[in-house]
Structure 1
Amino acid sequence: MKFFLPLLLAIVSFSTFSAPKSELWPYWNKSNESSAAVIDHQAWQQLLDQYLVSKSDYTLFKYSSVSERDKQVLTNYLERLSKTDPLSLNKAQQYAYWVNLYNAITVKLILDDYPVKSITKLGGLFSFGPWGDDVITINGKTLTLNDIEHRILRPIWQDPRTHYAVNCASLGCPNLQHKAFTADNTETLLEQAAKSFINSDKGVLLNDNGAQLSSIYDWFSEDFGDKSQLIKHLSQYRPDLGTLSGKISYDYDWSLNEAK
């Protein structure tokens, strides 16, 4: 029995991990395009400046160095976003709002349970990570990280580059950007993030038989399209992949994106 229970938990954890479908939560699909309101993300930017570092293909977060004061800065930032009605904003402000909110919540979840080897260790007993947990309340509605990514960002904007914007605190994930998203820099950051990831080994690793791709291209194939559409997307940022052929495999590293 002592052996069976851990084995059962492992099987349940990995079997229950599957990429959610893009399914619109209609309530959030509204905006005020005449609004000139600008959300201040400077607090998040200050944390990125202080604790995010680049190393080879990765941007790593210095979780162990975050001061109690800066933990409170993060908490205050999230509280302020939770009191902001995103529906009163224009779509450009909304996109930056949701991406920064997702990434900031993810960092806070790691800090709350630190030290931890992987975000997959968070969440309930039978869960694989915290993505289905209630994490914030906005406009009186409780949201999970899955809600933000798969019921708001993906279905409303229908831009596969969103997968390069949201960060799951793992080495295999597209990097957390050094800049907070804003309405003005979103396009630049999305293009930069896509190019960086696709030109990294964790995004596309060529081998003698073909290529090993990040599992995000498998999990979210509905966003990237069939093989020919995927290759077209990849070659847009890495031209040599336009002739990609052979066997395609997938891999993902769930280790924490930690700078030690």
Structure 2
Amino acid sequence: MAKFISFAISILFFVSTASAAPKSDLWERWDLSNEASDVQVSHAQWSIFLSKYAAYVDPATNTRLVDYSAVSHKDHRVLKAYISMLTDIDPLSLNKAEQFAYWVNLYNAATVDLILDNYPVKSITKLGGFFSFGPWNEEIVEVSGEAITLNDIEHRILRPIWKDKRIHYAVNCASIGCPNLYVEAFQSSKLESQLESATRTFINSDKAVQFINGKLILSEIYNWYAVDFGDEKSLIQHLLNYYEGPLYQQLQSYSGEIEYQYDWKLNEKK
């Protein structure tokens, strides 16, 4: 019995720590770029996939849903070919803007590919090993001889190198509570407008900001990554910079307790 209790406690501890957000921890290997490069990576295949299978936005949840069940074997193979094309590129040969688009698109495409490989599934958190909370620590691709995980891309490359809080609105974890999978592939030529659009869309959804019985309810993203958004005053100001809803004044003057929530259900069009 004692061994069973100890085992159960260890499982609970592992699950709780596994579901915590990783810290931003620079992988120096990727902190280089070639600013003289004018190479533009084509992300057309990813944009075509999105327009075909992720065009619908559910008005009830403000979520761009993916029609996973409708993806043909041919189009899944094309998606895998696109990911393979990306991994054949040395991202260090690209300029910083191209690198940003490269890593975000690789993250999002690889996440959709993971879901398709395991579909049907109720939540991405069900993927990974028995002791895993999702697949984020699984080595999913190899780039320039390095095995890469989704956590590597987000927390060891994107966050520490670019230090842009809008990264959290660009990467998508295939869940209802996540900022939407963007309508098209990210492109270096229009990164600023795309990031601003993704940020504004999420902040003006109930997934990000809402009031229930006078209490401010925010996305758990702002709790998990509080280090990126600053203290409560800085976070509120960040939200106000984009919020266009009728509760602007209420948000601006709010001084009560904040509650955080997140919906891990699959962003699936049924």
Q: TM-score range by the shorter chain?
A: over 0.9
1:7 is displaced (CA, Å) by 9.2
Count of matched residue pairs = 259
CA offset digits 1:67-113 (Å, max 9, x no partner): 00000001100100000010000000000000000000000000000
Looking at structure 1, the residues matched to 134 and 9 of structure 2 have their Cα atoms a distance apart, in angstroms, of 17
1:50 is displaced (CA, Å) by 0.4
When residues 48 and 88 of structure 1 are mapped into structure 2, their CA distance, relative to the original with a 3 A threshold, is same
Partner of 1:25: 27
2:52 to 32, 50, 67: 50
What 5-or-longer segments of structure 1 have no aligned partner?
Answer: none
Partner of 2:223: 218
Secondary structure, aligned partner of 2:42: coil
1:65 to 56, 70, 85: 70
Deviates more, 1:193-202 or 1:238-247: 238-247
What 5-or-longer segments of structure 2 have no aligned partner?
Answer: none
Secondary structure, aligned partner of 1:132: coil
Partner of 2:258: 248
Structure 1 length as normaliser, TM-score? Answer: 0.95
Q: Post-superposition, which runs of at least 4 consecutive aligned residues in structure 1 deviate over 6 A? A: 3-8
2:150 to 130, 145, 155: 145
Identity of aligned residues (%): 53
Partner of 1:209: 214
1:177 is displaced (CA, Å) by 0.6
Alignment RMSD: 1.7
Looking at structure 2, the residues matched to 100 and 209 of structure 1 have their Cα atoms a distance apart, in angstroms, of 38
Structure 2 length as normaliser, TM-score? Answer: 0.92
Partner of 2:82: 77
Looking at structure 2, the residues matched to 152 and 69 of structure 1 have their Cα atoms a distance apart, in angstroms, of 31
1:17 is displaced (CA, Å) by 1.2
